[in-house]
Amino acid sequence: MSELSELIQEADLGDDDAQRLQDTLEARGIDVRDDCGRPGVEQTTYVLDDLAQQTTDAMALFLQEVRRYPLLTRAQEVELAQRIERGDLEAKEQLVNSNLRLIVSVDTRRNTCVF
């Protein structure tokens, strides 16, 4: 795919000509694959410490995001539930977002999260 893209750029082909070239290759049975299918392309690897840090960062971002929505009172939940029954998608979004923090339990002693 990358080689084809380079050839299209070198030949200064427009979008229509590039599409015709791809269609012609396909019609002739020439398989054009993404680079990940070529031999010699390195596979993605992760260093466990880096992956753990990224996961922790993602969890911190999630927790920060859910704090933006205040917890609801019982009356507010009833009102939102009634609006949802009438098809109000905004009310549904508010109810879900306001309750997201209630489904997360963080154990800092064990460095784990439970949903």
As a whole number of angstroms, the distance between CA 46 and CA 91 comes to 40
Would you place residue 37 in the very low, low, confident or very high pLDDT band (cuts 50, 70, 90)? very low
Whether pLDDT at 36 is above 70:
no
Q: What percent of the chain has pLDDT over 90?
A: 17
Question: Is there a single domain that holds both residue 59 and residue 109?
Answer: yes
Question: Is there a single domain that holds both residue 109 and residue 59?
Answer: yes
As a whole number of angstroms, the distance between CA 6 and CA 36 comes to 16
Question: Is there a single domain that holds both residue 27 and residue 59?
Answer: no
Structure tokens at 3: 């080689």
Q: Which domain holds residue 93?
A: 48-114
Question: Is there a single domain that holds both residue 31 and residue 65?
Answer: no
Taken as a whole, the chain contains a residue count of: 115
Question: Is there a single domain that holds both residue 13 and residue 63?
Answer: no
Question: Is there a single domain that holds both residue 69 and residue 106?
Answer: yes
Domain count, the chain: 2
Residue 86 lies in a domain: yes
Structure tokens at 42: 């390195």
Place of tokens 């590039």: 18
Per-residue pLDDT of 4-33, as tens digits, reads 777 888 888 888 888 888 888 888 888 776
As a whole number of angstroms, the distance between CA 52 and CA 4 comes to 37
